[in-house]
Every structure is written in structure tokens, then in C-alpha cells.
Amino acid sequence: MQVYKAPLNDMRFVLLDLLDAGQLAQLPGFEEATPDTITSILEEGAKLCENVLLPLNRSGDEHGCTYENGVVRTPPGFKDAYKAFVEAGWLAMSANPEHGGQGLPELVNFVFEEMVCSSNLAFGNYPLLSKGATALIEVHATPELKSRYVPRLIEGRWSGTMCLTEPQCGTDLGLIRTRAVPTDGGSYRITGTKIFITAGEHDLSENIIHLVLAKLPDAPSGTRGISLFLVPKFMPRADGSLGPRNGVTCAGIEKKMGIHASATCVLNFDEAEGWLIGEPHQGLKCMFTMMNAARLGVGLQGLGIGEAAYQSAVAYAKDRRQGRSLKGAAEPSASADPIIVHPDVRRMLLTQRALNEGARALGYFVALNLDIARKHPDAARREEADDFVQLMTPVVKAFFTDCGSLAANLAVQIHGGHGYIREHGIEQFVRDSRIPQLYEGTNGIQALDLVGRKLGQHNGRLLRRFFHPVTAFVEEHKGDERMAEFIEPLAKGLDRLRNASLTIAGRGLADPEEAGAAATEYLKLFALVAVGYMWARMAKLALAKNGGDNGFHATKLKTARFYMARLMPETSSLFAQLMAGKRTLMEMGADEF
């Protein structure tokens, strides 16, 4: 059975004890974001996710979206859930108050999004796309477009999409064929086909606002010739009411492995009227505003699935009785012991838990820096925070989603045959967790982004935003005997990461394939060290709270020990793999495969 209860105690520990999220109330515009306010908001969000969204997760998967004559309908219950979602203001939480938003920190929204992803990943895609579209329009569109579209997106009356992929191109967007022809009235006529469009058509909102990449008639070749256009499903009148249907239609929905309740559409644009966003031929740069936000959101999908898979596996492991404890019956009066007594089951549960809690700390830390980058009065502090967010975005997207898939598969393993059949709903986690590793740039692309762009950006400045504070933390605590079991593994991992960074930078300058051959292992090495840093910081806090001898903090210390002893050593094998170079990957000819 699918089980989920928002881990509010752990969320509060990370937010208030580890990150001191109360500091956000000192930033201009965030004055109301006090610890008490944040806690109250998250408690209400937990109720919505546990009581409204979670019950629809499995039924939505079983029913799926339906398509008939260009009309897409979401599963039963989704329209009412979406109405409750937007009427309660969840879509407006971190949106700009100038356009009707609540103006709360992105960190608060980040935590809420984790809950949504845990309880109903498919449902969460709809507001995620709208939120990203809103941010892009606010940053890059004209004041007229902002005033016309943003308030209704924030209200949830209208929703948003991002239309990039075409049948012949995914990652290589320079190959797009969609065309935009200017009209005498200042708008453009958009013609082409887009595929894999999440929330491209549905029955949740009264209008859908498509953000479409296309090429102007005079566009240069490749990605330098891409422009961005806003294309509404229905043309809005001056008073905000809906006018005639625009020339965009849904030609079908994909039959997918997972997220069945999330409509993934083929959209045909037939001289649809649209408006340019940003400068001509600068569309990809504008779209990255939405893509980077979406990549962090997709990372949260991995964390959300991982938490739900873990909680479901724990509930089953405590209830399912098979065999006896290896050291003798744990419960002699029962016919068998619960499987949680077995070391290998505990290994799997602790792997899920340690990765989830470590990722949560790192993800919230990134979100905190996102708010600092936007609101801090000191320009240097804003730059520092923005550098960190840029550096960690591919790490969060790739590592969190890989961990979510791992956690889902471990949940099936713990359930045994009952996990493989549909009755318990656990196999849905495996199917749903697979897509976050693919969309918004596959995890291999994230690794290439890390080594190809972030590693050398600003002469290594982004890397220093991570290396300097971690090095300082290690130096500060290396003489503390109580911290030795956490600091020593972190220090070894950090040395490997530093050496790997220098090696890849040097080899990559001479031969880009060398950097590409090491990219995936490097990203995971980076992630393990980053999460290890967060675990060391959490262990320090747990030790300070009554010595970590009982209750919540004692459990936190035990999980930290597991991470350092069982997961952190993987940095050694990853270092060896990436140092092997490209030869064993590239020496085989294509015809030998």
C-alpha cells in the first residue's frame, strides 16, 4: 500500500535548525516569513497532500488521462483537487505580489513542492509548469504581456506549458522546424509540431498559455536562431474574458510508462497567433529561466518519490512476517519475525532514508540561496548565492532523480513479489520515478552541463563557492573527536573531488571527449560529497542537542553514520572510474556494437 505522511519534523529540523530559515524574514519583501508562519503554512500543505492528493495517486495512475477528438480529460477527482489547490493559494505562494502573488520565499514553496511530489507526482506537473511559465513571462516579457497573462496564471485560472521538443529534435534544439512569421499587427503566426508537451491540453484550467520556441524567417542556423513566443489556447479579450480558439490543437496524448495522470501531448500549431518574448533569436536564453527552475523542480520529484517509497517500504517491513532473526527469534510468540529484523532489509531502508534526508538538506540549502540571490541587499552576496545555485542545479536534478529511482526499486525489492504486482501500488513508484531522469534534460546532459559549463565558468568561481566553505568546515572540526567519524570520510571525499576537478579540467582542455567520458561519475562524486557535507553539518547539530543521546537527534546521528560508512565510500570507486579516461569508452568502433 502507498503510504505517505509529510516528514514535518525533519523538514523543520532542516529549515529552522540547520539552515536558520528565519533569516529570510530579514530580507526585503520576506518580512512575514517568520519561523512560525513557515511552520503553519507547511502544516496546512501537509493536510492537502495527505488528504486530497495522495488518495488520487493510484486511482489517477489506473485511470489515466483520456483523449477524444482533441479533448483531454484528467482522471476523476483531479478537477476538484486542482480547484482546491488554486483556491487555497498554493500556486500563488512564492509569486510576485505585484501580480497577485503572496511573495513568500521560494524555499517555502520548495518544501511544499516536495510534499506534492511525494503524494501525487502526476498532479504536481500541472502547477509546476504554470509556475515556470509565470517566472519566465515576469522576467522577459513586455509590461503589456505581463499584466495580461501573469495574474491569471498565478490565480490558476490559466495554466502554462513549455514547448521545445519536436519529432526530429530533443536535446539539439538547433534542429527545430517550427516557424514564426511576423504580421502587420506586431504579432506572429506560429506553425509547426511540438511533442512531449506536459500539460499541453487538459480540463483543469480555462485557458493554456504555451511558451513556444520557433525560428523567424531570417533566423541564423542552430541555436543562435531560436526565438520565444507566447501562444494562448484561447485569445483573451481586453477585459480578460476568453475570445476565439487560437490555431493550436492537441493531436493526441502519449501512452507512457508512468505518470499516467499527467497529460503528455502532441501539439500542432497552424498559423497560431503569438507574441515575441525577449529579443529575436534570444529565445533559448529566455527559456533557460523556465528550464533551470524546472530542473530544480524535477529534482524535487526524485526526492518526493524517494520519500514515499521509503515510507511505504518501512510500513511493509514492520508488518510483513517472514523467517526469524539471524540471532534468534525477535518475537518468539509470533509465527515469524517482521522482515525489518533482517540486515539486508535494513540496508535497503537505510539507503533510502540516508539519501532522502541528505538530499532534502542539500535541496533546501539550494533553495535558500535562490532566495538570497533574489533579495539580499548586498550585490556580492547575491552573486555568491546565484553562483551556488547555478553550480548545484544539474547536481540536484540528476542525483535526486537517480536516488528517487533507486529508492523506488528498493521499495519493490523489500516488498518482494507483492511489490511487483499492481495491487500494492509500489510498482507505480518505479514507473513514475523513471521520467524525472529523462525530462528537462537527461541526467547525462546534466553531467555534461556540470563538467562542460559549470566547472570552468568564471575561471572556476562557481566551484569555489562550494569548495571554500566545505574546506573551512573540515578544517574547523578536524580536531573534534566526536566529529571524527563524520569529518574524516568527508575530507577524503573532498580530496577526491578536488583532484577529479583538476584532472577533468586539464584533460578536457586538450580533448573534450575526456571530460565527457568522466561526466556522469564526476556528477555523482560531486553529489555524494555535497550530501556528505550536509550530513556532517546535521551530525554536528544532533550532537549539540543533548548529545544526540535520545529521540529524533539520536536517530539523525545513526543515519549520518550509515551514510558516512556505507554510502560515502563510493566516492573512491567513482574516482577510480573517472580517472580511467576515455579509452575504454571510445576505442570500440560503432560497427562493433
Report residue 259 as a C-alpha cell. Answer: 505518470
Set 138, 307, 440, 514: catalytic member: 440
Instruction: Please answer whether residues 328 and 428 qualify as being in contact, where contact means their C-beta atoms are separated by less than 8 angstroms.
Output: no
Q: What is the DSSP letter of 169?
A: B
Report residue 497 as a C-alpha cell. Answer: 573531488
Report residue 30 as a C-alpha cell. Answer: 520576506
Instruction: Please answer whether residues 386 and 379 qualify as being in contact, where contact means their C-beta atoms are separated by less than 8 angstroms.
Output: no
User: Helix, strand, coil shares of the chain as percentages rounded to 5?
Assistant: 65, 10, 25
Judged by DSSP in three states, 204 sits in coil
| Partners of 207 in the β-ladder | 158
Dihedral (CA of 5, 50, 60, 134) sign = negative
Listed residue (210, 207, 249) closest to 228, CA to CA:
210
Instruction: Please answer whether residues 526 and 450 qualify as being in contact, where contact means their C-beta atoms are separated by less than 8 angstroms.
Output: yes
Listed residue (401, 114, 438) closest to 257, CA to CA:
438
Please, which residues have CB within 8 angstroms of residue 245's CB and are 6 or more apart in sequence?
Answer: 233, 234, 235
Separation of first and last alpha carbons in the chain: 42
440 is catalytic: yes
Report residue 164 as a C-alpha cell. Answer: 521545445
Amino acid at 116: V
Dihedral (CA of 441, 443, 445, 448) sign = positive
Q: Which pairs count as long-range contacts for 234-243, CB under 8 Å and 24+ apart, including other chains? A: 234/206, 234/207, 235/273, 236/148, 236/149, 236/207, 240/148, 240/152, 242/206, 242/207
Helix 121-140 and helix 54-63, axial crossing angle in degrees, nearest 10: 100
Q: How far apart are CA 441 and CA 395, in angstroms?
A: 12
Report residue 353 as a C-alpha cell. Answer: 532514508
Q: How far is CA 397 from the centre of its chain?
A: 5
> How distant, in Å, are the alpha carbons of 40, 251, 526 from that of 386?
28, 40, 18
> How distant, in Å, are the alpha carbons of 157, 250, 251, 263 from that of 267?
21, 5, 6, 12
Burial degree of 592 (CB within 10 A; 0-12, 13-18, 19+): exposed
Listed residue (60, 92, 13) closest to 560, CA to CA:
13
Instruction: Please answer whether residues 520 and 559 qualify as being in contact, where contact means their C-beta atoms are separated by less than 8 angstroms.
Output: no
**227 in the Ramachandran plot: left (φ > 0), alpha (ψ -120 to 50) or beta?**
beta
Instruction: Please answer whether residues 212 and 269 qualify as being in contact, where contact means their C-beta atoms are separated by less than 8 angstroms.
Output: yes
Supply the residues annotated as catalytic: 440
